[in-house]
Structure 1
Amino acid sequence: MFARREPEHLRTGRWGERRAAKWLRRRGYRICGRRVRAGRRGELDIVARDGETLVFVEVKTRRSRGPARPAASVNRRKRRTLRRAALSYLKRMRPPPRYFRFDVIEVIGPRGTRRPEIRHIRGALSLRNDQKTWW
């Protein structure tokens, strides 16, 4: 009878992903997919091409600035999930890309804001070990 409304935090996250994809397109990236299921539990927010490089983008959205950057919430467990999802995605590609990287995009602003603050952290995660590379 009644449609269930998506929780506010999920709607904010989806809005941030749309803004991030638009921001990337304006900078010449080609968006290959959004909310891509890869593996059993993994989801990649955005998969894009930056020239010859395949880019796996994790989007972190916050309504306002806080004491910690949004990217700081990409904890060890999330990094492991992202790596596994990316490897699953790469295994399906024929031919596989020569280059790939993990980026994080922070979107800060209330949902619906026309010009939220966007910060792009290229090469934010390493595939080799469990490291964040942006601080």
Structure 2
Amino acid sequence: MKKDNKQKGDRGEAMAARYLEEKGHVLRTRNYRRKTGEIDLVSQIGETLVFTEVKLRTTDAYGTPAQAVDSRRQQRMIKTALWYLQENSLFDWNVRFDVVEILGSPETGYVMNHIENAFLM
């Protein structure tokens, strides 16, 4: 089960990375991890760093994928983003937090929704 979830997550992140690159983002890193948490994708568009959470779900029976990015998850992302900014001396950059939600499966196809500025620091 964990292996399936990891593969599903990796597939969603790859889809989201391609999507963001098509929109002009330059991917800086994937799966940035610190003790405070993980950020799926870190990209740059212009002079803005974008920290993106990717959520892939096969059904919305328990809510949309983006609804899984609750306030606890947001706080973990913010703390982890601060580590990234500090380690890379990027405190003078604009920052935003996005969510890419993906709904579907290989059999049914996927619908992707990019929520820019999903929450604030």
TM-score, scaled relative to structure 1: 0.81
The answer on whether the counterparts of 2:102 and 2:111 sit within 8 Å (CA) in structure 1 is yes
Does 1:15 pair with 2:11? Answer: yes
Q: Distance in 2 between matches of 1:31 and 1:95?
A: 16
Question: Percent identity over the alignment?
Answer: 33
Q: CA deviation at 1:115?
A: 5.4
Matches within 5 A, 1:1-135: 7-37=3-33, 39-66=34-61, 68-110=63-105, 112=106, 116-127=110-121
Contact 1:107 1:116 in 2 (8 A): yes
Gaps of 5+ in 2: none
Max Rg structure: 1
Letter aligned with residue 32 of structure 2: V
Taking a change above 3 Å as real, the CA distance of residues 6 and 68 of structure 1, as seen in their structure-2 partners, is closer
In 2, Cα distance between equivalents of 1:98 and 1:83: 15
Q: Which runs of 5+ in 1 are unaligned?
A: 128-135
Secondary structure class of the residue paired with 1:71? helix
**How well do the aligned residues superpose, as a CA RMSD in angstroms?**
2.0
> 2:36 & 2:93 partners in 1: Cα distance?
25
**Matches of 2:107 and 2:43 in 1, distance apart?**
24
Between Structure 1 and Structure 2, the one with more strand by share is: 2
Residue 61 of structure 2 aligns to a residue in which SS?
coil
Relative to structure 1, the CA distance from residue 95 to residue 60 in structure 2 (aligned partners, 3 Å threshold; closer, same or farther) is closer
Q: Cα distance 1:67–1:33, how it changes in 2: closer, same or farther (>3 A)?
A: same
Higher helix share: 2
